[in-house]
Amino acid sequence: MTCSRRDFLKDAVGGTLATVMPLSAFTFLSHSEARAAVQESKVRWAFLVDTNKCVGCGLCVKACKNENEIPYDAEVTRTWVERYVVTKDGNTHIDSPMGGRDGFTSMEVDGEEIDPDNIEKAFFVPKLCNQCDNPACVQVCPVGATYQTNDGVVLVDRDWCIGCGYCIMACPYGVRFFHPVHKVADKCNFCYHRISKGMEPACVECCAFGARRIANLKDPDDPVTKIIMTERVAVLKDEYGTKPHVFYLGLDANVR
Amino acid sequence: MPNDIIVHGIEWTAKELFVYPNEYIYWSIQIVMYPYMTGLVAGAFVLSSLYHVFGLKQLKEIAQFSLVFSLALLPVAALPLLLHLQQPTRAMEPLLTPHFTSAIAAFGIVFTAYALIVLSEIWFVYRKYFVEQVHALRDKPGISNGMNRLVYQALTIGAYDVSDDAIRVDKKAARVLAAIGIPVACFLHGYAGFIFGSVKANALWMSPLMPVIFIMSAVVSGIALCMLTYIVIREWQAFRSRRHGGMLKAKEIKGAEQGVIDTAARYLLGFLVAAISLELLDLIFRGYTAMKSWDILRSVMYGKDFMNIFVLQYTLGNLVPFVLLILPGRTLKRTILALLLVLFGVFMMRWNVVIGGQAFSLSFSGYMHYEIPIIPHSLETFKEGLFGALTVISVPFILFWIINKFVPSLQREASGE
């Protein structure tokens, strides 16, 4: 077979076009787009934390540890409460001993005694998994053991997680850890076993002050959804582009 | 707390100021070893390719050795990952159900592809030798000779044709494989850099320069290790032939060694300059743009980790060996010292990336210190401690010793070229 330079160039251009053109049909779908394409859910779980109401009693942490079988004295937790004490010199003191499980009874913040007269403001901030719409943890899991359900909650498959820790590294919020008994990645899932049965998450149910509430964003009549939609809410660390779904009322600029 | 419930990371993490409750040094010494060993593999292969692809004749001797050595290093690139997994029995899952949005998912595929390239290149280079051994061992008595012959027979995979034509094809195949191998080796390692560089949650890691920095320092460390091992083996051979009265042969060995080392050192310097430039660019850029994370990064770099970064890595690991290598009148002892320092410097770079990246809390309000477990008291403190790292370092030398028994990478006559 002979092939002139002209033929070669012709075939090369034709071949390239034939390969490239169909590729242009592919597009990058976001998680939610991909999910929507498969099956649109009637539920999108979200969370509302009212920091004005939190008193730092730590009942939520206790309830969570018991409900989700996270060893009580192990220094890891699915949810925790942070205490912020801003002093008059402009410094911010933060602590969360045992995740705030036993409340905040000491005037000492991280080993430093704070003079009550010197406090400008002080408040508590509960933290939990943000069930991001664009979850970094799901993106980096090498085996697909952590995944997003079509109602927005990110779950971990304990039978498939290899324990590489990449998801723990990828989460900007530090909500993930290795379960000390199961030796796999673990994190808050809004008590998925409860919310999918019509109950509230353990931390929500036990919060005596209404600081924690769960919402279905797809239900416009949901009272908590109404608050999220109509009031001025904030999210944590939106600069990472993870689209977090835990909304905060009264979030202070000092909160990390 | 009962003994059986130990939080992963708590034994070697010391927290300071405010750190989120779940934060620990989850990626410890084994994850320092992973890019370090992968880098050595990639570097060793690139060095061997300088001869096989670009025909740098001066590097022929070290090229044969590097090729075989990179094979010995190869399993050790995966070993730290295996040791680090919380569920090591599930290590094959990334191959079974790869989740391709994850940088780690491709590891098995890239790694296997690379292993196949190295193995087949070695086969093409040494096939003639295997065939010769099969013939040479035919009439020799003894069980060990019989066993050896069996191994060589297996190694030929039934290809006994050693005519000139066949050897020419072998050479061409080796060259093509070496050429394909360079991008694959770079990919294998650049992608180790991508694993870190793409973690947006980590202020220190996230940088598009990370893969390139990793490749450059990989080549530096790979060349350095190959040169060092090569010098040690050559010196040993010269010493042995001197002892057996072969002064002339000893001199010949030393002469050949000097030439090889001079050339390899030049390439080492080039890659070293590239690696340092990129790292400094990254540092300057972070300081200049001074994003939100810069305050805490600065306090780690110029405060807590100053010793590790600027004294041990940049000065002792980069600047000193650079001067040692570039000053005229370089002796063998000085070269060895420089090479050891280069290897140490690259190790410190990996350390400062992996451990340094976890030295500060995601809250930017606290610090974590890695207290490396020295004396292990459990499997976990062994794996993620000093002895786990030493195990990983020693394996390639043991493997090389075994492989070199059948593929004599240090005999000039053995390769089919």
Q: Are residues A93 and A200 in the same domain?
A: yes
Point out the least confidently predicted range of A165-169, A191-195, A231-235, B4-8: B4-8
The token pair at B270 is 């080039």
Residue type, B264: A
Q: Does residue B259 have a pLDDT over 90?
A: no
Cβ separation B362–A174 shorter than 8 A: yes
Answer with the residue of higher pLDDT: B238 or A231.
A231
CB-based contact B38:B243 (threshold 8 Å): no
Quickly count: other Cβ atoms within 10 Å of residue B241's Cβ: 17
- A111/chain B closest Cα distance in angstroms: 9
Q: Are residues A142 and A164 in the same domain?
A: yes
Task: Give B-chain residues touching A256 at CB under 8 angstroms.
Answer: 18, 363-365
Residue extents of the structural domains in chain B: 30-292+379-406
Place of tokens 């807590």: B304
- B377/chain A closest Cα distance in angstroms: 17
A173: nearest Cα among B218, B201, B172: B201
B120: nearest Cα among B153, B79, B157: B157
Q: Are residues A67 and A117 in the same domain?
A: yes
Q: Look at residue B2 in the predicted model and tell me its pLDDT.
A: 47
B23: nearest Cα among A201, A169, A119, A230: A169
Q: Does residue A101 have a pLDDT over 60?
A: yes
Q: Look at residue B51 in the predicted model and tell me its pLDDT.
A: 85
Task: Give A-chain residues touching B7 at CB under 8 angstroms.
Answer: 74-76, 177-178, 180
The CATH number given to B30-292+379-406 is 1.20.1630
Neighbouring-strand partners of residue A122: A85
Q: Look at residue B248 in the predicted model and tell me its pLDDT.
A: 74
Q: How many CB pairs under 8 A join A and B?
A: 147
Report the pLDDT averaged over residues B222-227.
Answer: 90
* Number of domains composing chain A: 2
Q: Identify the H or E element spanning B399.
A: helix B386-406
Instruction: For residue A118, give the CATH number of its domain.
Output: 3.30.70.20
Cβ separation B18–A170 shorter than 8 A: no
Q: What is the mean pLDDT of chain B?
A: 90
Of B198, B201, B292, the CB nearest to A171: B201
Report the pLDDT averaged over residues B209-226.
Answer: 91
Point out the least confidently predicted range of A20-34, A141-155, A213-227: A20-34
Q: Does residue A31 have a pLDDT over 90?
A: no
pLDDT-derived band at A36 (thresholds 50, 70, 90) equals low
The token pair at A2 is 């002979």
CB-based contact B85:A164 (threshold 8 Å): yes
Instruction: Note whether residue A1 is domain-resident.
Output: no
DSSP string, B201-221: T-TTT--TTHHHHHHHHHHHH
Q: Are residues A49 and A99 in the same domain?
A: yes
Q: Look at residue B3 in the predicted model and tell me its pLDDT.
A: 54
Q: Are residues A156 and A206 in the same domain?
A: no
pLDDT-derived band at B250 (thresholds 50, 70, 90) equals confident
Cβ separation A110–B91 shorter than 8 A: no
Q: Which of A140, A158, A178, A179 to mutate to test the interface with B (most CBs of B within 10 A)?
A: A140
Beta strands in chain A (DSSP E): 45-50, 80-87, 92-95, 108-109, 112-113, 119-127, 146-148, 154-156, 177-178, 185-186, 212-216, 246-249
Q: Are residues A164 and A232 in the same domain?
A: no
The token pair at B266 is 């030049």
Strand pairing of A212-216 and A154-156?
A: unpaired
Task: Give B-chain residues touching A127 at CB under 8 angstroms.
Answer: 20
Q: Does residue B229 have a pLDDT over 80?
A: yes
- B364/chain A closest Cα distance in angstroms: 7
Q: What share of chain B is helix, strand, coil (3-state, %, to 5)?
A: 70, 5, 25
Beta strands in B1-53 (DSSP E): 13-17
Q: Look at residue B412 in the predicted model and tell me its pLDDT.
A: 62
Of B7, B94, B202, the CB nearest to A143: B94
Instruction: Note whether residue A9 is domain-resident.
Output: no
Alpha-carbon A122 to chain mean position: 24
Q: Are residues A119 and A209 in the same domain?
A: yes
Cβ separation B18–A80 shorter than 8 A: no
Q: Are residues A93 and A181 in the same domain?
A: no
Q: How far apart are CA A97 and CA A85, in angstroms?
A: 14
- B195/chain A closest Cα distance in angstroms: 9
Point out the least confidently predicted range of A185-199, B134-148, B334-348: B134-148
Q: How far apart are CA B5 and CA A180, in angstroms?
A: 6
Q: Are residues A109 and A89 in the same domain?
A: yes
Instruction: Note whether residue A22 is domain-resident.
Output: no
- B7/chain A closest Cα distance in angstroms: 5
DSSP H helical segments within B318-385, as ranges?
320-326, 332-354, 379-383
Q: Does residue B89 have a pLDDT over 90?
A: yes
Q: How far apart are CA B345 and CA B39, in angstroms?
A: 13
Report the pLDDT averaged over residues A155-163.
Answer: 97
Q: Which of B5, B13, B17, B18 to mutate to test the interface with A (most CBs of A within 10 A)?
A: B18
For the stretch B146-156, pLDDT in tens is 899 999 999 99
pLDDT-derived band at A20 (thresholds 50, 70, 90) equals confident
Instruction: Note whether residue A152 is domain-resident.
Output: yes
Q: Are residues A114 and A241 in the same domain?
A: yes
Strand pairing of A45-50 and A212-216?
A: antiparallel
Instruction: Note whether residue A7 is domain-resident.
Output: no
For the stretch B19-51, pLDDT in tens is 999 999 999 999 999 999 988 888 888 888 888
Cβ separation A142–B7 shorter than 8 A: no
Of A127, A142, A175, the CB nearest to B105: A142
Q: Look at residue B1 in the predicted model and tell me its pLDDT.
A: 44
Residue A219: which domain range? 45-132+188-249
Cβ separation B85–A172 shorter than 8 A: no
pLDDT-derived band at B305 (thresholds 50, 70, 90) equals very high
B287: nearest Cα among B297, B274, B275: B297
Cα dist. B309→B251, B273, B343, B347, B351 in Å?
A: 42, 17, 15, 11, 9
Neighbouring-strand partners of residue B94: none
Cα dist. A23→A17, A116, B368 in Å?
A: 10, 65, 46
Answer with the residue of higher pLDDT: A50 or B241.
A50
pLDDT-derived band at B18 (thresholds 50, 70, 90) equals very high
Cβ separation B7–A74 shorter than 8 A: yes
Q: How far apart are CA B84 and CA A183, in angstroms?
A: 12
Report the pLDDT averaged over residues A86-100.
Answer: 95
Place of tokens 């933060």: A94
Q: Are residues A56 and A180 in the same domain?
A: no
Return the sign of the alpha-carbon dihedral for residues A99, A104, A108, A112.
positive
Q: How far apart are CA B196 and CA B194, in angstroms?
A: 5
Q: Are residues A51 and A165 in the same domain?
A: no
Cβ separation A160–B21 shorter than 8 A: no
Task: Give B-chain residues touching A75 at CB under 8 angstroms.
Answer: 7, 10, 21
